[in-house]
Amino acid sequence: MKFRYLDTGAMPAALNMGIDEALLRAVSGRRSPPTLRLYRWEPSAVTIGYFQGMTEEVNLEACRRSGVDAVRRITGGGAVFHDAEITYSVVVPEGSPLAPHDILESYRLVCSGVIAGMTVLGIDAAFAPINDIVAQGRKISGNAQTRKLGCMLQHGTILLDVDVDRMFSLLLVPQEKLRGKLIDDVKERVTGLKSLLGLEIGYAETAAALKAGFSSAWSAELEPGELSMDELRTGNEIAAEKFGTDIWNLRR
Amino acid sequence: MILRHIEKIPAGKLLRIELDVEDGILLHTLVRGDFFAHPEEDFEAAEAELSGIPSNRIVELATRAFSRPGLSIIGATAADIATALGRAIDEIQVP
């Protein structure tokens, strides 16, 4: 299968989510081919799952003070602090090889590309249902998928490094009295490529490994491309009218 | 009266229930959490269907609403959600 491959670099959260939705609309409207996109977040950002409550999950005042964006995704799943990491998104029509009807199977298929990318880096990783990827028993990647407009969109992050204390300075916890224990748990259960490899690894090097991994695991031809003018304009519109607004971000 | 209840589904996701109940009638039902539901709008339609119902019928009606054809929930079942909603109601009846 042929994919357009995009590396859009760093963007603010609302635009990152706007571009992902613009890709979904463009692929749905057959204006763009199936697409794999790699990107990151600047400034750092917190995203929450579609069904989460922003003021329940996120310390918005702390985000404001630290200059961290806070945005609701169109995909379900949990709250994520996007800092030292690389994010991918993939959009394909429903029914294509990566998007069978069975959603768990679809997660497994898409995640096989991330896992193959980890192999390129010398990391032995595995899919951990429902939507995680683990290495040495610790989570290194979270993934979230939605089906809309006859297409599947999945995005996910691969942690390069983790600062759990900083993360929890921005996130709220269900029971404040258990905060310390929860933070200790997360420090045990989550890790990044830097700790696994014992050396600093950057965005570009990880992007190259992921690209090779996606290509081999999906038997895909990745053709480097650019966002179309239509996608860029639509992405900016969606960022301004949806992901940049309290109406959307505070809606549940 | 706003009722809140949190429940972690074993091998599943976290459900954070918020109900508004007045005189035995549900005014609104919100099921927040880190689960997935496809299509997302159908899940919200199921929530909306539970407004105006007697709170003592919530388990039965929620089971039906969240089992609607075409809606798939990942990380919790319709029964899990209905049970959690029932527990949110039960918690207030214990003084």
In tens, the pLDDT along A56-71 reads 999 999 999 999 999 9
CATH 3.30.930.10 fits A2-249, yes or no: yes
Q: Which amino acid would we find at residue A58?
A: V
What is the pLDDT confidence band of residue B91, given thresholds at 50, 70 and 90? Answer: confident
What does the pLDDT look like over A69-123, one tens digit per residue? Answer: 999 999 999 999 999 999 999 999 999 999 999 999 999 999 999 999 999 999 9
Distances (CA, A) of B36 to A39, A104, A130, A147, B26: 23, 11, 10, 11, 24
**Closest Cα of chain B to A104: distance in Å?**
9
Contact (CB, 8 A) for A50 and A73: yes
What is the pLDDT confidence band of residue A175, given thresholds at 50, 70 and 90? Answer: confident
List CB contacts (< 8 A) between B39 and chain A.
147-148
pLDDT the model gives residue B94:
52
Q: Answer yes or no: is pLDDT of A155 > 70.
A: yes
**Closest Cα of chain B to A148: distance in Å?**
7
What does the pLDDT look like over A113-151, one tens digit per residue? Answer: 999 999 999 999 999 999 999 999 999 999 999 999 999
Contact (CB, 8 A) for A86 and A206: yes
Mean of all residue pLDDT scores within chain A: 97
Q: Answer yes or no: is pLDDT of B95 > 80.
A: no
Q: Which of B28, B36, B74 to mutate to test the interface with A (most CBs of A within 10 A)?
A: B36
| Domains along chain B with CATH numbers | 2-93 (3.30.390.50)
**Closest Cα of chain A to B80: distance in Å?**
16
Q: Does B13 touch chain A (CB under 8 A)?
A: yes
Beta bridge partners of B7: B15
Quick check: helix, strand or coil at residue B67?
A: coil
Burial of A161 (C-beta count, 10 Å sphere; 0-12/13-18/19+): middle
pLDDT the model gives residue A193:
98
Q: How far is residue A154's CA from residue A145's CA, in Å, rounded to a whole number?
A: 4
Contact (CB, 8 A) for A71 and A52: no
Beta bridge partners of B15: B7, B33
List CB contacts (< 8 A) between A174 and chain B.
6, 14, 16
Ramachandran class of B70: left when φ > 0, alpha when ψ lies in -120 to 50, beta otherwise: left
DSSP B9: P
